[in-house]
Amino acid sequence: MQPLTTLADDERLLYDSVYEFADREIRPLVREMDEHAKFAPALIEKLFALGVMGIEIPESYGGGGASFFHSVLAVEALSRVDPSIGVMVDVQNTLVINALLRWGHDDIKQRFLPKMAASLIGAYALSEAGSGSDAFALTTRAVERDGEWRLTGRKLWITNGNEAGVFIVFANVKPEDGYRGITAFLVERGCAGFSVGKKEDKLGIRASSTCELLFEDCPVPKANVLGEVGKGYKVAIETLNEGRIGIGAQMIGLARGALDHTIKYIGERKQFGKAIGEFQSVQHQIARAATEIEAARLLVYNAARLRDAKLPFLTEAAMCKIFSSEVAERTASLAVNLFGGNGFVKEYPVEKLYRDAKIGQIYEGTSNLQLQTIAKQILGT
């Protein structure tokens, strides 16, 4: 199977170099990180050294000065080996850095972007117990007092919660105005009144930390407002649309990783006197999976290129996210089936990918919400 036929030379070089890194540095650690539900600290340092933690940050701030599409390629390549690493890099680039580049004033960029290119991990805190799909039903409040903002509330399911040093936190400064009171704040780890709470014990992407965040009269300087007061809903909507493309990239990387394992296994596993890959029924299943992965990849790439071209991409982002997540689950399930009993035990890699795949249809907008978005756009409702 010839992959990545739609890439320019520099894009292919990036993908290949990131995948080679992942194969060499990450693959030996995947099972241990999954079992202990924790990143290897040295690996995070290597990701920064590789340059994938600040891909779109301008070179003047110490970043790669590359495009959103390059971020998508890096997430895909890493997720082919471990989707847990892929989602950490995805949140860093497509959500946090993307939001700072678009909405941050010069002071914010000067203070945070150089550190995010070198060593600082970011997290994106929107979800709450009562505001998942209904994202703007959040109850975290911000009140102005003594020349600063004070945040009180609780956030749930925050990716990178354990590792992050800066958090984009959404709170409502004027609840009576509904979503028009929502404002985005930059909260730094160590701030008084802020703590990272329980780390979730998850089904999949276990090495990626998913935590609750607690705010109790947490002081935030006015200089740390991201965008305008009362315009946080715009920051959230526009950033999440791009984040969904990143999740699409994570899912096609996962699917390709599952297919890689399966192609190798069916060439080695013998039944009835020959490799199971010689049976036509098996070959047809592999062919269908490869076709679906390529279709999902093209949807993801198209959405990313539209974004870089500053063209509308709302529908395309929703399409690539829902389709790639479904393809990932089907491909990982096929891998488990073709591995047989070995696919059901942790000694082999595909059961982990099967667990990892499920989240793709849930976070950063459930499949039902993506379908609703697509329907609204194409029906004009």
pLDDT tens per residue, range 73-126: 999 999 999 999 999 999 999 999 999 999 999 999 999 999 999 999 999 999
Residue-wise pLDDT for 135-144, tens only, equals 778 999 999 9
* Rounded average pLDDT over 275-285: 97
Nearest one of 273, 256, 297, 281 to 337, comparing CA atoms: 281
Percent of the chain whose predicted confidence (pLDDT) is above 70: 98
| pLDDT value, residue 5 | 53
Average pLDDT value over all residues in the chain: 96
Residue-wise pLDDT for 192-244, tens only, equals 999 999 999 999 999 999 999 999 999 999 999 999 999 999 999 999 999 99
Three-state SS sequence of 290-308: HHHHHHHHHHHHHHHHHHH
Check whether 3 has a pLDDT greater than 70.
no
Percent of the chain whose predicted confidence (pLDDT) is above 90: 95
| pLDDT value, residue 4 | 47
Residue-wise pLDDT for 58-83, tens only, equals 999 999 999 999 999 999 999 999 99
| pLDDT value, residue 133 | 77
The structural domains of the chain, ordered by start, are 9-121 (1.10.540.10), 123-231 (2.40.110.10), 233-379 (1.20.140.10)
- The reported pTM is 0.96
| pLDDT value, residue 119 | 97
Alpha helices by DSSP H, the chain: 9-21, 30-36, 41-50, 68-79, 83-90, 98-103, 106-118, 232-268, 280-308, 314-339, 350-357, 367-379
Which residues form the catalytic set? 364
pLDDT confidence tier of residue 302, bands split at 50, 70 and 90: very high
Residue 354 corresponds to which tokens in the numbers above? 């099967």
Contacts of 84 (CB under 8 A, 6+ apart): 33, 34, 39, 205, 206, 207, 208, 356
**Which residue type sits at 104?**
G
Nearest one of 169, 135, 134, 137 to 152, comparing CA atoms: 169
**Which residue type sits at 68?**
F
DSSP for 81-122, written as a single string: T-HHHHHHHHIIIIIIIHHHHHH--HHHHHHHHHHHHHT--E
DSSP for 234-266, written as a single string: HHHHHHHHHHHHHHHHHHHHHHHHHHHHHHHHH
Residue that is written with structure tokens 């705010």 in the block = 215
Task: Determine the Cα–Cα distance for residues 235 and 184; give it in Å rounded to an integer.
Answer: 7
Q: How far is CA 58 from CA 39, 65, 67, 113, in A?
A: 27, 4, 10, 9
| pLDDT value, residue 65 | 97
pLDDT confidence tier of residue 132, bands split at 50, 70 and 90: confident
* Rounded average pLDDT over 314-330: 98
pLDDT confidence tier of residue 159, bands split at 50, 70 and 90: very high
**Which residue type sits at 88?**
M
Nearest one of 212, 298, 265 to 3, comparing CA atoms: 298
Task: Determine the Cα–Cα distance for residues 30 and 32; give it in Å rounded to an integer.
Answer: 6
Classify residue 110 as exposed, middle or buried by CB count within 10 Å of its CB (0-12, 13-18, 19+).
exposed
